[in-house]
Every structure is written in C-alpha cells, then in structure tokens.
Amino acid sequence: MALSPRRLYLAMPWLAVGLVVALLAWWQTRAPVPARAASCPDLHAGCTVQLDGVRVTVRIDGPLQVLKPFRLSVDAPGARKVQAQFSMASMDMGFNLYPLQPDAQGVFRARIVLPVCVSGRRDWLMSLEIDGRRIELPFVTELS
Ligand SMILES: [Cu+2]
C-alpha cells in the first residue's frame, strides 16, 4: 500500500483533525501559572504580599458585595502588566478577566463587578497575574 499522492490527498482532512486534537490536548495540559497563595483578612485595609522580591500591595475601595462596583488597586513596583480574575473553588463562575490600568503614580487599578453566585456562596478567589506570576487571594463578599 504505497502512499500515492491521491491517498495523501484523502488523508488530509484526518491529518487536520489529528492536528486540532493534538493542539487541544496540549492546551489542556499546559501547566497553569503557579500561584502564590496569600491571605488578606481585610481587603479594605489592604495587604502586602511578597512576590519574588517585589512588595505587592492589594487593596479594595467600595462595597465588597456582588453586583456593586468596587475598585481594586494593586501596587507592584516595576510591574508592566497586571490582570485580575475572580473564581470560586470547584465552581465555574463564568469568564471574567479585568486588565488593570496604571494611574499616574503607577498603581494599577480596575473597577470590578462580581456576579451573583447561583448557589448562594460568597467565598471567592481573586487571582492576580502580575507579569506572568500569580497571587491567589481568597475573600468573602459581604451581605448587602
Ligand atoms: Cu459560585
């Protein structure tokens, strides 16, 4: 069974399918950015987390409640790109990714609005990605 040009031609769609499957498999197994677990009992007061020698200060202003906008500020000297994502342990809370924008002082800021959890949970996980490094901060939203 020689590999004639015609056979090769017929095999093309399958090769394409195989390539897509391989790409998807690779995408799934890509190691996520390792996270530095941190704790911040009072996000309004703010917390400082050490991330590879950089002092990262995280703070929020405004009501820490669902459906109400609050402001997130991240001070990470020297950082170029900061983004935040909000999730719940073992629960898909939908896609949300907030790119933070630096202000004149170089403090990264974003306005966040959290969705309501369908099962009434209030335990969230804030994932901050700072130049490819990640901090995970658990927090609980307040009741309105
Ligand atoms: Cu939830």
Convert the pLDDT of each residue in 71-110 to its tens digit. 999 999 999 999 999 999 999 899 999 999 999 999 999 9
Residue bearing the bigger pLDDT, 68 or 1: 68
Q: Which residues, other chains included, contact 63 with Cβ-Cβ below 8 Å and sequence gap of 6+?
A: 70, 142, 144
| Counted domains in the chain | 2
> 82 C-alpha to center of ligand 1: Å?
24
Instruction: Check residue 7 and give its pLDDT.
Output: 79
**What does residue 118 show for φ and ψ, rounded to 5 degrees?**
-65, -25
One domain, residues 44 and 97: yes
Q: How confident is the model at residue 29 (pLDDT cuts 50, 70, 90)?
A: low
Residues 16 and 20: their CA atoms lie apart, in Å, by 6
15 and 52, same domain (yes or no): no
DSSP state of 126: E
Close Cβ partners of 83 (under 8 Å, ≥ 6 residues apart):
97, 98, 99, 100, 128, 129
Count CA within 13 A, CB hemisphere, residue 16: 6
- CA-wise closest residue to 128 among 49, 64, 66, 42: 49
Same domain, 40 and 18: no
Both tokens of 18, joined, read 């195989």
Q: What's the 45 CA to ligand 1 centre distance in angstroms?
A: 25
Q: Assess whether 84 and 133 both reside in one domain.
A: yes
What is the percent of the chain with per-residue pLDDT over 90, rounded to a whole number? 72
C-alpha 123 to ligand 1 mean position (Å): 8
Same domain flag for 71 and 104: yes
pTM: 0.76
What is the Å distance from ligand 1's center to 92 Cα?
Answer: 7
> Percent of the chain scored above 70 by pLDDT?
94
Range of the domain at 102: 35-140
Claim to verify: residue 21 and residue 59 sit in the same structural domain = no
Give residue for tokens 């399918």. 17
51 and 2 within one domain: no
Q: 121 C-alpha vs ligand 1 centroid, how far in Å?
A: 5
Residue 43: pLDDT over 70? yes
Q: In angstroms, what is the span from residue 113 Cα to ligand 1's centroid?
A: 14
94 CA from centroid of ligand 1 (Å): 9
Same domain, yes or no: 54 and 70: yes
Confidence category of residue 30, pLDDT binned at 50, 70, 90: low
Q: Ligand 1 mean position to 91 CA, how many Å?
A: 6
User: For position 12, what pLDDT does the model report?
Assistant: 86
